[in-house]
Amino acid sequence: MKHINKIKIFTVMACLSCALGLQAVSKEKEKLMRLEADMLKYISTNDRDTFVKITDQLKDVSYEAGEERLYYTAWSNQAIYEATHQFYQRAFEIADNIMVAARKFDSKFGQYMAMHTRATILLQKQDYDAAENAYLEATEMRHRFFPDESAGEDLQELMKIANHRKDGPAGEKYARLILAEPNPAPIHKGRALYRLSQMAFNKNNVAEFNRIYKEMMDLKRTDGIGTIEPIVEVNYHIMNGEFDEALKLSEQLEPVMRAERQAVIYHRMGDDTKAFSSMQQFKKISDSITLVSHGNVVASCYVQMNNERMRLEQSLLEQRNNQLRIRLYISIGASIIIILLILGYQRQKAVRILKRDNKKLEKEKKDAEKALDVKNEFLNNITKELRTPLNPITGFTDILGTSDYQLEPEEQEAMRQLIKENSRLLSHMIDEMAEFSFFESKSSIPLSTNMNPHVLCEHLVSAMEIRCHPGVKLTYQSKLPQDYTIQSNVDALEKLLTHLLENAVHFTHIGSISVICELIEKNVRFSVADTGPGIIKSNQNQVFDMLSDSDNDARSIGMTYTICKSIARLLHGHIWLDEEYMNGVRFCFELPQEVKLK
């Protein structure tokens, strides 16, 4: 009997030791993943101290854990961070230190990372010749020491350099080398196929283009690499003679690419007049696009980094979920050995914890995906909005600054006025973004000021009368007692009403503008109505959305209504567009009950 008891005790101790060992390994893995996610989070910020602190911690932890590749990757990112912020000398010093350490410990991967890092720094300096040689050396080393791994990342950068030089044969060569790599990453394969599809289109090789298009569709289905670029879809219909469908899809392209593709379509349709007009439009806007292209590339890199960070954070959540499962199984096993009577209770408790955490993980995943979609949409919309005034500024400035055009003084003055007006629009957009960011970043504002809404409305109406177009009548009507007061924030409420009045004054050229303040049930309602142009029915349900796509409706463009919605939220109020008002536009805003009579 004593011998049996000793065996039981030994078994319990062994199980507990195993459990502690697994838990220690799991915690170490979790710490590495958390640090890696934080590294990708801060690499796109200006907080250098925090980034260096995190990467140093990641280097120490990965070195202790024997994670060679993560160790050199963290070190490499320090150099790339310095190069991104144009501290090139500091970046090269870090790359040299990586090579010294890698040679000291005879780490082939470390030597490869040092070469790859130096190539990336040279590319950021726009030293394309040196960058190309460095990437070729890194590719050769990866093939020599890691023959079963893909060098697609280096070949992809070489393809970019060839594209920048407009060296078509070199770009095609590197694209085909990517496809010939062992186990190329789906994202690298997708970009290589995209490049080859462009080459096949330029050569008018229908069979080759259709074959590549089929591979891209297969890649989308098997590996889920996003969606096929719209330009590829347009080219597919052009190559196969489906010109009407190609014209329809070309409307989804960016302005410069849309004009260029439509020129090709009209030419192949035999309408050279429209083809010439489209090519003129392409030339006009392609020159101005150059000014903002670099900023778009940087923004795209930051988005890609954030996507990688989100992937790591999701992996971290899954790791935690796996840890909960491991703990559950260990708890069940130990409970069986220690005491069978409490097995059912422990299992039910662990299951409840697991379900709660799974729900939490699912919610965090959905929130992360939603945040990523909003960010991508905002980036696309803000780029489009900024280009609208920037394109004519750049185009007319080039015309005024060259001697190739002989312009009359009246034409020069007209162009200067257009530049001035578009500069004002650009400045106005930036001010709106700053104001929206200010109000949207706040969760609350002070609402402790006693104020008279009647006095505020009278003041704003009096100030706006002089800004009305000739013949437009601005009236104010109050249905509240003269001494009626509410508790709110005067500055925020004044800002909201000012935006609504400025909008009405700007768009109302004939007729009238009316402001009404009244008590509806237990709420105070403000309404601003005008006889200006109405808002298109299809745009009314998205008028408060941030930078909504409403190019055909001048009153829906901009962020004015989005700012008003943010202010309304902070005031615990509600703002809406009165869709039943048919004489123009009427916006209504209500404050909740929290009012006092003097």
Instruction: Dump pLDDT digits (tens) for 190-217.
Output: 888 888 888 888 888 888 888 988 888 8
As a whole number of angstroms, the distance between CA 167 and CA 161 comes to 9
Task: Quote the DSSP letter at residue 333.
Answer: H
Contact 100, 114 (CB under 8 A): no
Q: Which element (helix H / strand E) includes 177? A: helix 168-180
As a whole number of angstroms, the distance between CA 341 and CA 558 comes to 67
Nearest to 177 by CA among 158, 155, 207: 155
With a cut of 70, say whether residue 18 has pLDDT above it. no
Q: Please report, for the chain, how many H helices and E strands are present, in that order.
A: 19, 8
Q: What is the DSSP string of 19-60?
A: HHHHHHHHHHHHHHHHHHHHHHHHTTSS-HHHHHHHHHHHHH
Q: Give the model's pLDDT for residue 425.
A: 67
What is the chain's mean pLDDT, rounded?
80
Looking up tokens 């993560």 gives: 70
Dihedral (Cα; 123, 128, 133, 139), 10-degree rounding: 50
Q: What is the pTM of this model?
A: 0.45
Strands 512-520 and 473-478, how do they pair?
parallel
Looking up tokens 């969760």 gives: 443
Q: Give the model's pLDDT for residue 225.
A: 61
Identity of residue 371: A
Q: Give the model's pLDDT for residue 326.
A: 86
Range with the lowest mean pLDDT among 164-168, 256-260, 291-295, 341-345?
291-295
Q: State whether residue 218 is helix, strand or coil.
A: helix
Using pLDDT thresholds of 50, 70 and 90, give the confidence band for residue 151.
Answer: confident
Using pLDDT thresholds of 50, 70 and 90, give the confidence band for residue 92.
Answer: very high
Identity of residue 88: Y
With a cut of 60, say whether residue 598 has pLDDT above it. no
* Cβ-Cβ contacts under 8 Å for 584 (sequence gap 6 or more): 508, 511, 529, 530, 531, 532, 533, 534
pLDDT tens-digit series, residues 450-504 = 888 888 999 999 999 999 999 999 999 998 888 888 888 989 899 999 999 998 9
Average pLDDT over residues 87-100: 92
* Cβ-Cβ contacts under 8 Å for 91 (sequence gap 6 or more): 79, 80, 82, 83, 121
As a whole number of angstroms, the distance between CA 5 and CA 19 comes to 21
Average pLDDT over residues 120-126: 92
Q: Give the model's pLDDT for residue 552.
A: 58
Strand order in the sheet with 484-488: 449-451, 484-488, 595-597
Looking up tokens 């709420």 gives: 523
With a cut of 70, say whether residue 374 has pLDDT above it. no
Higher pLDDT, 10 or 94: 94
pLDDT tens-digit series, residues 506-556 = 999 999 999 999 988 888 999 999 998 988 887 888 888 766 555 556 676
With a cut of 80, say whether residue 4 has pLDDT above it. no
- C-alpha gyration radius of the chain: 32
Nearest to 257 by CA among 277, 237, 285, 233: 285
As a whole number of angstroms, the distance between CA 320 and CA 212 comes to 41
Q: Give the model's pLDDT for residue 300.
A: 44
Percentage, residues of the chain above pLDDT 90: 20
- Dig out the tokens for 247 from the structure: 């014209």
Q: Give the model's pLDDT for residue 107.
A: 92
As a whole number of angstroms, the distance between CA 553 and CA 588 comes to 20
The sign one gets for the Cα dihedral 172, 174, 178, 182 is positive
Average pLDDT over residues 249-278: 84
As a whole number of angstroms, the distance between CA 251 and CA 60 comes to 52
Q: Give the model's pLDDT for residue 10.
A: 45
As a whole number of angstroms, the distance between CA 116 and CA 246 comes to 41
The sign one gets for the Cα dihedral 357, 360, 364, 370 is positive
Task: Quote the DSSP letter at residue 330.
Answer: H
Nearest to 138 by CA among 124, 126, 150, 125: 150
Using pLDDT thresholds of 50, 70 and 90, give the confidence band for residue 248.
Answer: confident
With a cut of 50, say whether residue 438 has pLDDT above it. yes
Average pLDDT over residues 345-368: 83
- Dig out the tokens for 501 from the structure: 């009045």
As a whole number of angstroms, the distance between CA 61 and CA 343 comes to 38
Contact 39, 55 (CB under 8 A): yes
Average pLDDT over residues 359-363: 82
Q: Give the model's pLDDT for residue 538.
A: 79
Task: Quote the DSSP letter at residue 469.
Answer: P
Q: State whether residue 588 is helix, strand or coil.
A: strand
